[in-house]
Amino acid sequence: MQHYLLDQDFIDLEKSNVTKDVARAENAIRDELQKFDDTVVDWALWDDTVTFMQGKTAAFIEANLNERTLVALRLACILFLDTKGEIVWAQSLAPAGGYSNAVPEGLLPYLRPDSPLLEADTAESRAKGLIRLPHGIMLLAGSPILNSQGKGPKQGTLVMGRLLTPRLAAEIADRIRLDVSFEPADQPLPADVARLGVQDVSEAVAVVPVSDEVVAGTTVMPGLDGRPTLRVLVRQPRDIVSRGEAIVNKTGMLLAIGGGCLLVVIVVFVERRVLARLAGITGQVDAIAAGGSSLARVVVNGTDELSVLAQHINDMLVEIEHSRQELSLRYAEKKAQEAYLRQILDSIQAGVLLVDPQNRKVVEVNRFAAMAAGRSQEDILGRVCHGLICPAQGEVCPMDAAGQSVELSQRFLIRFDGTLVPILKSVSRIVRDGREYFLETFIDVHELHETRAALAASEERLRRIIDTLPIGIFQATPAGRCSLANPSLARFLGHADPRSLLTSGSDVSSYYVDPAQYVAFRTLLDSRGVLADSSVQLRRVDGQIVWANVSAIALRDADGKASAYVGFVQDITRRREVEEEIERHRTNLEQLVAERTAKLEEQIAARERVQAELLHAKLAAENRQQDQVRLSGQYEP
C-alpha cells in the first residue's frame, strides 16, 4: 500500500510538473504576442503615422516601411486601414519570398468593420490574438492610429501579423528550455498521443504517459475569435517516476532492516527500563499542558537520566512561563503600535501599499490608496495587484525588471471603473518579519497633467501667433548670439527659415551696417533696460542693405545683470525710400522756388530801374519845359 501511495505521489508530481511546463509554453506564446503587440503600438501611436494617414507624408513608406524594415520586424503582413475599414496600404510576405501588396489568404474575415481589431478607438481597447490561416498560425495585433500621446481623433487602424514559423517555435522552445511543439488545433494529434484517447480541451491540460520513458502534456489555446486555434504539446522524460520508484524500493528495504533491529532493542531494553517512567513523565506533562495558564512542575524520583530530563523539563516550564508573559506584553505593545501606525497611514494624503513580491498580493493598503482606486480596503487586501490597481500585465513585474527601487516614476493607477489615473510613484524594498516586501507610495498628479496640457496648448497658441506676426521677433544673448527668431525675422534677414538663422553661427552685430550702432544699442539696454523705435541699417545675408525699426528690452537675472535681450524688428525700408523720395522732391522744390524768387527779384529790380529811369527822364523833360517857359517869358516885348 505504501509503495502504491508513493508511486501515485510521484505520478501526481510528474503530472504537476508537466502541467507547469505546458503553462510555461502557453505563457511564452502570450509573451511573444504581447511583445509583438507592443511593436504595433509603437508604430500606431506615432505622429508620423498620423501624418501619413492624413496623406501629408508621401515619403513615409520609403523611409520607414521598406522591405528591410519589414524583414527586421519579421512581419508576414502589415496593413494600414482608414476609419471606414478600407485598406490604404498593405504588404504581405509572398510564398516565393519578398513582399507584395496582396492581403494574405484567409485574413479578410478578421478585417470587417465590426471585428475587434477595427472597433478599438483607444490604445487601451486594442485587440490581439492568434488566428488560423491556410498556411499556418499567425500572431495578429491591431491598434488605432493616434498621435504620440495616445490621443485622437482616430485616423484609422494599423494591423500587423507574424507567422508562428518553425524557426520562431524553435526559438521559443530554446528560450524556455522545453521539448515543445506548436501546431494548428484542427490538425490530428501525433499518433503516439492520439492512440491513448487524448482529446483537445481548450484552457485545460491533458497529461498522458506516452511510454515508460516519455510523458506528454497538451492543451489548446483559443484564438482571436475565441475558437480553438493553437495546440501546445510538451514532451518530457519520465525522470521523476523512474527515480521515485528506485528510491521507494531502496527505502523500503532499509526501513525493513532498521525496523527489525529497532524492534528488538525496544523489546529487550527500553520496555523494561525506560517506557514506564517515560509514561509517568508524559502523564505529568499532559496534565500540566491541560492545566491552563498556571504551570505545575514534573516530579521524578531518582538520580538517573530521566530525573535529569525531568529537571530540564521543569527549567523549560519556567522559561515557557516567563516567555508567555513576555510575549503577552509584546503582543499588546505590537497591537498598540500597529493601531498607531494604521492611524498614521490612513491620515497620510498619499497612497501607501505593501505588496508581497512572491505572489504579487497586496498585504497592506491605506485609506487614501483605496479611495484613489475607487475601492474599499477590504476589496484590495489579499488580491493580486496586477490588473486590479496596476496596469502591468503578465508574470513580469516592473519592480522585478528594474531590480532596484523606483523613485518618482510616472505610472497609472486603475480605478474601479477601469479608468487610468496618472500618478507619481515610488517603490522601495523593505524587510518585515524576515520577509522582503515592496513598499509602494504614490500621489495623484492628474491635475498636474491637465495643467501641463493647458500650458502646452497655451504655448502652442503663442508660438503660432509669433510665427504668423508680420513683425520680426528675436531673443539674443549678451554674447551676441540669436537664440530665438520667428519666420518674419528670418525672411527679413534673407534666411529661408528660423533654423537657418539660428544655426548660421553669425553674430548679431554682423547684420549691422554700422557695428557702432549695435554697441550703442547694447550700452543703452544695459543701462536703461529699454530701446524704443530706433532706426538702423542692416545687411541681409545676400548683401542687400535694408532699414529696420528696432525696439527691445533687457531681461535681467537675480543679480540684476542682463541675461537676454528680447525685441521686435520692423521692416521700414520702403518707408525710408518714400521719405528719401519726398526729401529729394522737397529739396528740388526749394531749389526751384529759390531760383524763381531770384529771377523775380531780378525782374523787379530791372522794372524798378526802368521806372526810375522813366521818372528821371520825365523830371528832366519837365525841367526842360519849365526852362523853356522861363526863357520865353524873358524875350516877350
Q: Give residue 352's pLDDT.
A: 86
State pLDDT tens for residues 526-578.
888 888 888 888 889 888 898 998 999 988 888 888 889 998 888 888 887 78
Mean pLDDT over the full length of the chain? 82
Residue 633 — very low, low, confident or very high, per pLDDT cuts 50/70/90?
low
Would the pLDDT of 162 be above 80? yes
Q: Which domains does the chain show, CATH number per domain? A: 10-234 (3.30.450.220), 243-323 (no CATH), 348-449 (3.30.450.20), 469-571 (3.30.450.20)
Q: How far apart are CA 400 and CA 6, in angstroms?
A: 37
Q: How far apart are CA 106 and CA 283, in angstroms?
A: 81
For residues 487-513, average pLDDT? 85
The reply to whether the predicted model has a pTM over 0.85 is no
Q: Give residue 142's pLDDT.
A: 93
Residue 392 — very low, low, confident or very high, per pLDDT cuts 50/70/90?
low
DSSP state of 301: -
Q: Give residue 96's pLDDT.
A: 80
**Strand boundaries in 185-258, DSSP class E:** 206-209, 214-222, 228-237
CA dihedral 537, 542, 543, 545 (to 10 degrees): -30
Judge contact between 110 and 224, C-beta under 8 A.
Answer: yes
Would the pLDDT of 636 be above 80? no
Residues contacting residue 58 through CB under 8 Å, at least 6 positions apart:
none
DSSP state of 384: B
State pLDDT tens for residues 78-90.
999 999 989 999 9
Residue 196 — very low, low, confident or very high, per pLDDT cuts 50/70/90?
low
State pLDDT tens for residues 93-141.
888 888 888 899 899 999 988 888 898 889 888 999 999 999 899 999 9
Q: Which helix (H) or strand (E) holds 93?
A: strand 87-93
State pLDDT tens for residues 340-351.
877 787 778 788
Q: How much of the chain exceeds pLDDT 70, in percent? A: 88
DSSP state of 112: S
Lowest mean pLDDT among 158-162, 261-265, 277-281, 291-295: 291-295
For residues 486-512, average pLDDT? 85
Would the pLDDT of 160 be above 90? yes
Would the pLDDT of 2 be above 50? no
For residues 383-405, average pLDDT? 63
Judge contact between 95 and 106, C-beta under 8 A.
Answer: no
State pLDDT tens for residues 286-325.
777 676 555 677 776 666 776 777 777 777 877 887 887 7
